[in-house]
Structure 1
Amino acid sequence: MRLGSGTFATCCVAIEVLGIAVFLRGFFPAPVRSSARAEHGAEPPAPEPSAGVSSNWTTLPPPLFSKVVIVLIDALRDDFVFGSKGVKFMPYTTYLVEKGASHSFVAEAKPPTVTMPRIKALMTGSLPGFVDVIRNLNSPALLEDSVIRQAKAAGKRIVFYGDETWVKLFPKHFVEYDGTTSFFVSDYTEVDNNVTRHLDKVLKRGDWDILILHYLGLDHIGHISGPNSPLIGQKLSEMDSVLMKIHTSLQSKERETPLPNLLVLCGDHGMSETGSHGASSTEEVNTPLILISSAFERKPGDIRHPKHVQQTDVAATLAIALGLPIPKDSVGSLLFPVVEGRPMREQLRFLHLNTVQLSKLLQENVPSYEKDPGFEQFKMSERLHGNWIRLYLEEKHSEVLFNLGSKVLRQYLDALKTLSLSLSAQVAQFSPCSCSASHRHCAERLSWKSHCHLLGFLCSFIW
């Protein structure tokens, strides 16, 4: 049976419309959002769980650090720090990683690996979509809840120098700022000097709580001559000197502050073997994340294989570190090594606040949330936590108390991991990754391989 030309044309149009619809569904995925809007202010924190007793801890825990400095080096690949280049060109950073009071991670940045969505992920803990690639060219003010918004609401004084994208995303949030443009890609010297020139002055002052520096020079070198250029080593050496200057200054000032300080070194994304970024290759998504503070125990030995975490975990970790509410839309988990030196009650409190936040987000975005393994783990953890609180208030020191606390802690960590994966899967369910060569990997992770093949076919049909 032969189809008429009109019928055939109708079928072609229908397939094309379907392909476009599925394609756009990938680029405009349904976001995971809290129903409580950021402009309405922070909700009261969840109280400690109780089991027949009343806990008196109903407020947020106090800050863990006095000052926080975030050094974001654009396009900083993980192997630039943890590989041979780091050993050769960043000796001070390498020392801190291997033997200093620090915690090192490889933070995975989800595509699109361009600057604005990555800043958004770092500060909100949410997963931006590919539509943010367009917004990257002219970033609008960020309306989502974020660490920056919460810090400003709490009266924290934030100073920023570097990529002007931050100034566009967070207008009126900084008490002082100096933005640099990223459009002059051939400039990899002055664009960073314009950040570093402020350091001596701002580090001597004590009138700020958070200092954010965003260096663009490394990214520009990558675009000009790629990751194997001799200029890369020179720039890494320059950044190592910057990190040493900041770290030594923070250490010298700690005698004047009641709490230790925290220095964070991170990248927004990496760079491919051609120096570009935006896609999902290993070189583009793996970035170093190093947290440095005298609050952490010094580590002996060589640590060259940092644990892999998600870039979205940074927002929850910074919020806890600063004594702030975790951003409402965050799908990230607290990086537990940051708080593992605290008393057990505080550790459980931090983990409980994070799991409560994630479970609320799950309830508002997944109709069958009660059947989610992460939610079940959370409820079990909360019950055990209540039993621990009752025992803690009765007898603060016992082997039974310690063993039960360790069990609750493990339960919370498992619940956090599962909840975070469940929420991330909600966004990634129709991810455009299926339109790339890596769609098979995405399918295996999301268990819908046949759908990915269909979507990949339709996307290629459209293109």
Structure 2
Amino acid sequence: MKLSSSVFALLCLILEIVSIALFLRGFFPVPVKSSFSAKSKVTDIPAEPQTGNNAVNSSRAPALLFKRVVIVLIDALREDFVFSSDGRRFMPYTRHVVEKGSSHSFIAKARPPTVTMPRIKALTTGSIPGFIDVVMNLNSPVLLEDNLIWQAKSAGKRIIFYGDDTWVRLFPKHFMEQDGTTSFFVSDYTEVDNNVTRHLDSTLKRDDWDILILHYLGLDHIGHISGPHSSLIGPKLMEMDDIIKKIHASLISKESEGTLPNLLVVCGDHGMSETGSHGGSSEQEINTALVLISPAFRRKVGLERPAVVEQVDLAPTLALGLGLPISQNSVGRLIPAVFEELSMREQLRMLQINGHQLSQLLQDSNPVFHKEDGYEQFRVAEKAHGSWMKLYVDGNKSEVLSNMGKKVRKQYLDALKAMSSALSKQMGKYDLYSMIIAMTFILQVLFLLLLAMPEALSRDAVVDVPLASSLLSLPFYLLCLFGSALHVLVCTSAGGPCYLCSLPWVLVFSVILLSSAFTCALVGMAARRLPTSNKTPTKVREQKCDVSVTLQHGFLQRLNYRSTNKIRDAQCIGGHIVIGR
């Protein structure tokens, strides 16, 4: 098949673009998202399970647990800045609350990429952003995905924000009052925090807000300047400790008998490496501090080792604590310690709502969701929950009810852990099959360009690609058979998402035909470029002649002369060689 150089170049360009797009599709996994309505609603909350004919189940949302919530997000707050000896030295008040106050402390693991914008998304949506968000971090677009801030605003919550202006770009119309601070000037670690703190005294005295979010950048900037062991780290941590003390004292002073308690959340969006940077997956970068402080929690009697949770677990915990629906795309699970002071019925209700949301997301994002252990565990737990509800409604007060409730709670927790893990793994898997196929096409096109270069640059500028002859060759059919068998094998045994496996078989088989013909054509073009020789070697015969040589100039000379049949215009006849005749 002969093509003009312009058509040939256009086809190669199209194939390269499609191949690169397929590779990027495999390298940047598609986020786990629900295809249902864009945002969760209170009406989406499932009813309490029941057994028998007793219609006593309730479909209303759980009651509020906290009246107000203050979120103090300290950028790059590594867990050892709070829980190690440095925390006792530089953050004495926070450590005192962690060890002996009404609080729960955790090591919250952030998933890579550990940069600010994806971490804010994880904290507010409960989903796991991908590496494509690193590029978008420089110019954060409006967050349209279902999230905690949108749910709170829709429920009439009044939200105030001060700090990193990434929040303002993600949620441009969600805050009742806001003051964004740019994070571009990393050499500034003083004014960037003073711009936040200057609003604090007046805001804490007011009663016209429900959620206050403060995002401090100074600690992160110090890390970028001189690393986590800089002499500037200690004073900055002491400054943050004073701010936490001021906020906590204000929240305690405003609480009164008979009202709901307030909640103070101290957390980091990511950690900090030993060089002061972040973005990767080292332990120092992914391990962040998370401290929840509220009179609703049991007062501690000594130092406890912080439990490990996922950073995305904060989103569903805050949502149910504020009486809001969990974001549809959240892969997080409730932090059980936050709800341990509630009655068994309320605890099971919270866990059921979280399990229902995760099971719906699993159904919508995984075609083989019924094979997941967590999904089956949740169904079993929900049935056991219904049996417990029947005993509860019947007025059973025995120890059987208590033991059964603890068993159901454990079943729910195991199911939530399994479903959350399955969804998180699905998000983190690369589509290797699509990436390999894309790389194969990219290399084929590059090889084709190399082989066609002499023809494309010739006077006629016509490229001869032997596609038609390839369709009649035996290697073509063998390659088609091999490609089809490989595709069936991969798609029937792949454990993760595969884009090519989701395409129609007719389209995939057409691609296999094209690739096989392409390969055969490349081999044919390469064979044409190999050097060939039409001459067949002949045995060289040699004889010794003692001759009189007649030269063209007429002189005679006696000599010993060796000649071969490779010497042109020479003959050895009767012992004489005549040259130049």
TM-score normalised by length of structure 1: 0.88
Distance 1:359 1:420 in 2: 9
Change (3 A) 1:40 1:123: closer
Contact 2:39–2:327 (8 Å) recurs in 1: no
Per the alignment, residue 120 of structure 2 pairs with 119
Distance 1:206 1:44 in 2: 31
Please tell me whether Structure 1 or Structure 2 has the larger radius of gyration of its CA atoms. Answer: 2
Change (3 A) 1:92 1:19: farther
Per the alignment, residue 185 of structure 2 pairs with 184
Per the alignment, residue 76 of structure 2 pairs with 75
Deviation at 1:40, TM superposition (A): 7.5
2:48 is equivalent to residue 48 of structure 1: yes
Q: How does 1:81-230 map to 2 (within 5 A)?
A: 81-230=82-231
Amino acid corresponding to residue 350 of structure 2 in structure 1: F
Aligned residues: 425
Distance 1:109 1:357 in 2: 22
Per the alignment, residue 6 of structure 1 pairs with none
Distance 2:218 2:26 in 1: 32
Alignment RMSD: 2.3
1:162 counterpart SS class: strand
2:423 is equivalent to residue 418 of structure 1: no
Deviations 1:150-191 (A, max 9, x none): 000100000000000001101110000100000011110011
Contact 1:27–1:131 (8 Å) recurs in 2: no
TM-score normalised by length of structure 2: 0.70
Distance 2:393 2:251 in 1: 38
Deviation at 1:425, TM superposition (A): 1.0
Per the alignment, residue 349 of structure 2 pairs with 349
Deviations 1:241-291 (A, max 9, x none): 000000010011011771000000000001111100011111111001111
- Whose relative contact order is higher, 1 or 2, with alpha carbons under 8 Å and at least 6 apart? 1
Deviations 1:398-444 (A, max 9, x none): 21110110000000000000000011111111189xx9xxxxxxxxx
1:136 counterpart SS class: helix
Amino acid corresponding to residue 45 of structure 2 in structure 1: P
Amino acid corresponding to residue 315 of structure 2 in structure 1: A
Per the alignment, residue 407 of structure 2 pairs with 407
Q: How does 1:307-346 map to 2 (within 5 A)?
A: 307-346=307-346
Per the alignment, residue 301 of structure 1 pairs with 302
Distance 2:154 2:96 in 1: 37
Per the alignment, residue 58 of structure 1 pairs with 59
2:417 is equivalent to residue 386 of structure 1: no
1:161 counterpart SS class: strand
1:297 counterpart SS class: coil
2:246 counterpart SS class: helix
Distance 1:429 1:42 in 2: 32
Contact 1:164–1:179 (8 Å) recurs in 2: yes
Change (3 A) 1:36 1:405: same
Distance 1:297 1:171 in 2: 37
Change (3 A) 1:281 1:26: farther
Contact 2:110–2:286 (8 Å) recurs in 1: yes
Per the alignment, residue 31 of structure 1 pairs with 31
Per the alignment, residue 359 of structure 1 pairs with 359
Distance 2:125 2:36 in 1: 14
Distance 1:242 1:378 in 2: 42
Contact 1:27–1:130 (8 Å) recurs in 2: no
Structure 1 portions without partners, runs of 5+:
1-12, 436-446, 452-463
Deviation at 1:28, TM superposition (A): 2.0
Distance 1:202 1:261 in 2: 15
Contact 1:27–1:129 (8 Å) recurs in 2: no
Amino acid corresponding to residue 185 of structure 1 in structure 2: V
Distance 1:41 1:320 in 2: 13
Distance 1:45 1:401 in 2: 25
Structure 2 portions without partners, runs of 5+:
1-12, 436-493, 499-581
Amino acid corresponding to residue 201 of structure 1 in structure 2: S
Deviation at 1:18, TM superposition (A): 11
